Chains A and B, each alone.
Chain A
Amino acid sequence: MIQLPDSFSYIRGRETLARAQVLKRTWPFVLDLCVAVMGLACFYGVVLIAKHWFGHAQPDIVISLSPRALPLYAFYSVVRIGLAYVLSLVFAVGYGYLAAYNKRLEALMIAGLDILQSIPVLSFLPGVMLAMVALFPTRQIGVELGAIVLIFTGQVWNMAFSFYSSIKSIPKELSEAASIYRFSRLQRLIQLELPYAAIGLVWNSMVSVAGGWFFLMACEMFVLGTRDFRLPGLGSYLQTAAGTGNYVAITWGLVTMVAIIVATDQLIWRPVIAWSDKFKFEQVESSARVQSPLLHLVQNSSALRALTRLTTAPLEERFYRRYADERKQRVAEAAATGSIESEGGERTRVAVIVVAAAVVGYAAFHALGLLRQVELAQFKEILKGAAATFMRVNVSLLLAAAWTIPAGVAIGFHPRLARIAQPLAQIAASVPATALFPVILLALIRMGGGLGIGSVALMMLGTQWYILFNVIAGAMAIPSDLREVATLFRFTTVQRWKTVILPGIFPFLITGLVTASGGAWNASIIAEYFRLKNQTLQTVGLGAQISAATDNGQFQILLLATMVMALMVVTINRLVWRPLYRLAGSRYKLEG
């Protein structure tokens, strides 16, 4: 959920530096010990998870509200996020690689990426869950996998896109160097493509994992018809706590949430960002670098080094030798026959494509067949809901923009204010909105507000940060000489906003609004229909219809509503945001 330009988010004070210096001088033995302890912890975690998963299915999980249960719940949630992330990373690299190098599939795959990125993932929740439960004999493992797959679908696309565009922008001479020196595909991947894409992947991973929390909170506990799916975790803890109105438990849950996010930032992202610094494709060394004591620890551990020397290094050698031998053989064969192409694979490929197309077509046809059951009245209802949600999304965007633009510009222009406001905003933004939904809804109902207004507030809760952080970055990017010109010529406030500030932040504002708009559509599914204290709150809207259809098991309505929503989001992206993006890229680009 935090999308920060790297210029200001990770510049820390001198004491971090000092700490790094100290660690450099400690004996390697201590470092080894630390690594060993961490290794043991990981091992125990794996055992624990395995027991939970492969034991018999727990018939009905009761979420304990005791704070003592929290560490375990938090642990389960973190593991789910972690697994989904690893899955996403592998998939993103594979997808991006294939899209970049397969000329025939490229256009199709990129269009697919574009759409998948903008479809509200939460509407797939019921489908994915049911599929997984049906696929796996024990219900618990099905639900677990369902949650992981869902988080995966929420976080994979921007990573895939980042990897793809990195490969595409590799400087020509670097890739020519790799070809002329006969790099095998593996060596190319390890020494050229992955390093070149690393920085983009790291930043997108941060965004993705934050998004993952959003989905996890929503799908750890949900109801489908008469069936109640729940997983032990932080999300279900918070929902149960809000459902029973247990304020102590709510506080404990939120504190744990924030603690996890701060810990992830310190223990994972900072070391990773510091490490990825070496992949910066720049000619000169930059002065402001992120420091991480943990990274030092890992890099200076002689035990870890010995481990690579004994395991990955020989393996790598063997691979390289094999590829080199294969190449030699190929060249020898080619010299003998005079041709390097092989023609056998073509027919099988066509056959595979035909079969795949047939299967996909058949499935799609049957899905559309479901729509025949939709009655006209229901169809009208969906259209009405679509209009209502559309309004609500835009109102939430307007409201969010109304406070974040002035606030963001103020923060961006005043470094001192930024120093205070930045960390606060970061923490506020990093708490997944879905975790706060039940809590805030409880407060809203107490104050007498309905879900109609409440849902707008809930949408804003998740999406305003995108706008705020982008506006801050935009305001900081306005060159100071432009601002000085405005002062020099005594521009009025209106003139200043019209000629300097708004055009200056325009590209950033658009980026923020696009992300926020996508987030708001997604949030509508949770925000417009909520189950609290055994009663169901709902308002008119597309999101409510999707959720209600989920509850009642009306799959034809679910399908239609999801389609309408996806169509609307994609259309708005194409007709509104993309032209604005283009305008931002050409006319409002601040260069040099």
Chain B
Amino acid sequence: MQMPIIRAERVEKYYAQPSENRIQVISPTDLSIVAGEIVALLGPSGSGKSTLLRMLTGLSAPSAGLVYWHEKPIATADVNVSIVFQSFALFPWLTVFENVEAPLKARGMDPAERRKRAMKILDTVGLDGFQSAYPKELSGGMRQRVGFARALVVEPEVLFMDEPFSALDVLTAENLRSELLELWQKKTIPTQAIFLVTHNIEEAVLLADRIIVLGRNPGHVRTDFKVGLQHPRDRKATAFTQLVDYIYKVLTQPDAQPPELPQTPTGKKVRDQRQMHYQMLPHARPGGIAGLLELVLDHNGKDDIYRLADDLAFEIDDLLPIVDAAQLLGFLTVTEGDAAITPTGAEYANSEILRQKELFRTAAVTNVLLLRQIVRAIEAKSDRTVAEEFFHDMLDEQFSEEETLRQLETAINWGRYAELFDFDASRRRFIQPQNVQNDAEPGVEIRE
């Protein structure tokens, strides 16, 4: 067994709450990065991919557990890593050259040596002649090249990448990916290992020697396996699509054990750690749910989720919440990566707007605890209003502050659509929906 460069031992991340509860973002996780591999970290949004990356680089300290750099605690080691950021994170007031030179300056290198190294790396990534341009004069792809140049100029042992291609258009991203792979395979760069966070499954299968899939609530490793495909990889090859399909299945079945891998998986399988009181509401809009159901219905009521995403040109992060929401409401069932519409779902997709709202209302009250509680609370109060704060405090016990706000936002959105309740944004209170026909003020005609 090779000595790992970075090894995480039972690292976890949580936020302490005022009460005894604490919000677990990442449950205790073991992970190591060894020389010679490209590791891809996949997972739905909210599974703590970026948090894990930041703990592995030493940028953020884990709440418990330790990260080791060459078997020394990372806080005291001389770590040599770089990060390529999704937003590029270039300094807009520095020229391309100054941006690339900045990390070398921080290391106290001579100006002459700095210049030599920076020019060489700019040459390597294809930025010849752009050294005195400002980032804002460049296209997105060129800017990310600067990001790569800045990351590579310090000759990092491990190169971390946080969704480096997701802000770029498809062709540019493809181009950069293959150039990166070439640099890596030809050993043009002395980098020992690459750690890539992505939500693009194909990208992971295309690049990685090893794929780790995270699950959420709290974040945990669901599967961790080696990819046995030879480079260059062909997107059309059966082995490739099988693997993509397999990962889709893992991602769409958050509660099940990962199914058998077409290749040989060598990972640990961790179960969800806690039973939640409230379900996590997926952040999908009712309109999106209706749209998805109509599409599934067009595909004879049943289709592969991978194909659906492809049809819609959606990334997994965009599609999964909608699938989850439809599933939660009982409009859709998902088995083996296939989505099948239920009878209610079919009726919903076929109905006109008022009937749709009715169906949504029934489904929401039956299936969503939070919405049920809000409706009951409004009915129980004599003034027929309840403060948002009340539910905020209850959700707070279970979710992080940010997630609590998003949960409430989604609940308000769904409740308003279903006419379960209305929300007074200036007083931050849930109120009983107004009956339009009766309460309409004179002079405000709704219908002719």
Contacts and interface: CB of A to CB of B under 8 A. Distances in A.
| A pairs with B | yes
Interface in A305-331: 317, 320-325, 328, 331
Contact of B85 (A176, A285, A320, A338): A176
B106 A284 contact: no
A179 B91 CA distance: 13
B376 interface: no
A335 B78 contact: yes
B127 interface: no
A176 B83 contact: yes
Given A176-B89, A180-B59, A195-B93, A187 B76 contact: no
Given A323-B108, A331-B76, A173 B154 contact: no
Contacts of A279: 92-93
Contact of B106 (A171, A320, A587): A320
Contacts of B87: 171, 173
Interface in B77-93: 77-78, 81-83, 85-87, 89, 91-93
Contact of A187 (B85, B102, B425, B426): B102
B108 A191 contact: no
A285 B105 contact: no
B392 interface: no
B89 A173 contact: yes
A340 B86 CA distance: 31
Contacts of B76: 331, 334-335, 338-340
A324 B108 CA distance: 5
B426 A173 contact: no
Given A173-B86, A176-B59, A586-B425, A282 B106 contact: no
Contacts of A278: 92-93, 134
A320 B103 CA distance: 11
A191 B77 CA distance: 26
A536 interface: no
Interface-central residue, B59, B75, B93, B107, by most chain A CB under 10 Å:
B93
B141 to A, nearest CB: 13
A173 B91 CA distance: 11
A317 B102 contact: no
Contacts of B103: 181-182
A282 B89 contact: no
Contact of A320 (B75, B108, B134): B108
A205 to B, nearest CB: 18
B426 A321 contact: no
A282 B154 contact: no
B310 interface: no
A424 interface: no
A322 B75 CA distance: 22
Contact of B102 (A191, A198, A283, A284): A191
Interface string A164-179: 0000000101101101
Nearest to B95: A278
Contacts of B94: 191
Contact of A183 (B85, B92, B102): B102
Contact of A283 (B93, B105, B136, B154): B136
Contact of A192 (B73, B91, B136): B91
B54 interface: yes
A280 interface: yes
Contacts of A187: 102, 105-106
Given A181-B154, A191-B94, A173 B108 contact: no
A184 interface: yes
A182 B136 contact: no
B198 interface: no
Interface string B19-50: 00000000000000000000000000000000
A29 interface: no
B285 interface: no
A281 interface: yes
Interface in B103-128: 103, 105-109, 111
Interface string B41-75: 00000000000001001010000000000001101
Contacts of B73: 338
B78 A177 contact: no
B137 interface: yes
A335 B111 CA distance: 29
Contacts of A177: 83, 85, 89, 150
A325 B75 CA distance: 18
Contacts of B77: 331, 335
Contacts of B426: 583, 586-587
Interface in B204-246: none
A195 B91 contact: yes
A182 to B, nearest CB: 5
Contacts of A340: 75-76
Contacts of A180: 57, 59, 81-83
Interface in A36-57: none
A241 B59 CA distance: 64
7 contacts: A171-B89, A176-B59, A181-B106, A181-B150, A183-B102, A191-B102, A335-B78
Interface of B: 54, 57, 59, 72-73, 75-78, 81-83, 85-87, 89, 91-94, 102-103, 105-109, 111, 134, 136-137, 150, 154, 425-426
Given A280-B92, A331-B77, 13 more contacts: A180-B59, A180-B81, A182-B103, A182-B106, A198-B93, A278-B92, A282-B136, A285-B137, A324-B108, A324-B109, A338-B76, A586-B425, A587-B426
10 tightest CB-CB pairs across the interface, nearest first? A324-B108, A181-B103, A334-B76, A173-B89, A321-B108, A177-B89, A195-B93, A173-B85, A182-B106, A331-B78
